Chain A
Amino acid sequence: MPELAQKIRDIIKPENIVYAKSPLMNDDVMHYCPGCSHGVVHRLIGEVIEEMGIQDQTIGVSPVGCAVFAYKYIDIDWHEAAHGRAPAVATGIKRVMPEKYVFSYQGDGDLAAIGTAETFHAVNRGENIVMIFINNAIYGMTGGQMAPTTLVGQVTSTTPYGRNVDLNGYPLRITELLAQLPGAAYVTRQSVQNAAAVRKTKKAIRKAFEIQAMKKGTAFVEVVSTCSSGWKLSPVDSNKWMEENMFPQYPLGDLKDGTRADANDYSIKG
């Protein structure tokens, strides 16, 4: 149909662009599996940094895990941290260069397992950093082993009969715990399974960076994500599985929105 082809050619012109890839995103093809939530969150971070115009003032700290190569995809300064230590490294960078925007990008194996101490103490100190937490309930990079956030009954390569509470304990809702800490300013849980959720997550990430600029305390954004390879499902089925099983355990929404606690509330009297 040459008429239709001509019509489409008329639409595809630079002045008609409503969405194009952010110039902050490099041309490297992402190494993530098809349908991985990491790609969406990377893109949202790139778009937020571009819209805020802080490309030359932002330093990311990439974790150990699937997102270890995050520095290849967003055209900003990056630092690599040892497994779980991204909040500690981000603390150091932020203290040496307080005018920069510093964020850590971590998965659940990194942030909620090996890096629990660094995570808790960075938030408890109320460091002015942004922490982005990708919770896909599994160790994706190493072959789908059980993570602290794995759901009860979920089959992984180390829990072939499903996670058993007697043997493996309960899923760790670390975001709820962090919301209790006085240093936290903004704690939220979002997801990226459809376009509406993606837009909400982008707003949350933008708010987190703005809170860092206002020096209110730690901003923590959890993104409930899929791992289709680890879960052995197609990307579309993974999103369905996440909506049915993850959301009841990890309800979406803001857990804390304010500023870090006043020091007077915690100081000795007299």
Chain B
Amino acid sequence: MAKVRGAVVVDNEVCKGCNLCVVACPSRTLALNRDVNSKGYHYSYMENPENCNGCTNCSAVCPDSCITVYRVKVE
């Protein structure tokens, strides 16, 4: 069975730290960063990058369109 791996890139300066992507992530990849961006928001980042399978749930619920999702098949 082909295994799928994904990665998420968050535009840190656009992210407002609303936490919706963290809740929407079924594989607990995402979390809010302890650091803040220039506006003072705790932006989202991949806390457990090895979990990501590129399901795009996070980008679907992101109100600020700041998430780009990548996916590859690993044989």
Chain A residues in the interface with B (C-beta under 8 A): 4, 7-8, 10-13, 16-22, 25, 29-30, 32-40, 43, 192-195, 198-199, 228, 234-236, 239
Contacts and interface: CB of A to CB of B under 8 A. Distances in A.
Interface string B48-75: 0110001011011111111111111000
A68 to B, nearest CB: 17
A11 B72 contact: yes
Interface of B: 5-7, 9, 13-14, 16-20, 23-24, 41, 46, 49-50, 54, 56-57, 59-72
SS class, residues of chain B in contact with chain A = mixed
Contacts, number: 97
B68 A21 contact: yes
A53 to B, nearest CB: 20
Contacts of A21: 65-66, 68
A8 B49 contact: yes
A247 B5 CA distance: 35
Given A8-B7, A13-B70, A195-B57, A40 B24 contact: no
A198 B14 CA distance: 20
Contacts of B50: 4
Given A16-B71, A20-B68, A38 B63 contact: yes
A39 B65 contact: yes
B63 A19 contact: no
B72 A39 contact: no
Contacts of B64: 29-30, 32, 39
A40 B61 contact: yes
A17 B68 contact: yes
Contacts of A40: 61-63
A117 to B, nearest CB: 31
9 contacts: A11-B5, A18-B56, A22-B65, A29-B64, A40-B63, A195-B56, A198-B61, A228-B18, A235-B20
A32 B63 contact: yes
Given A30-B63, A195-B61, A16 B20 contact: no
B72 A35 contact: no
Contacts of A36: 63
Which of B19, B60, B66 has the most chain A CB within a 10 Å cutoff?
B60
B18 A19 contact: no
Contacts of A39: 62-65
Contacts of A236: 19-20, 23
A81 B74 CA distance: 52
Nearest to B26: A195
Nearest to A35: B18
A31 to B, nearest CB: 11
Contact of A11 (B16, B24, B63, B70): B70
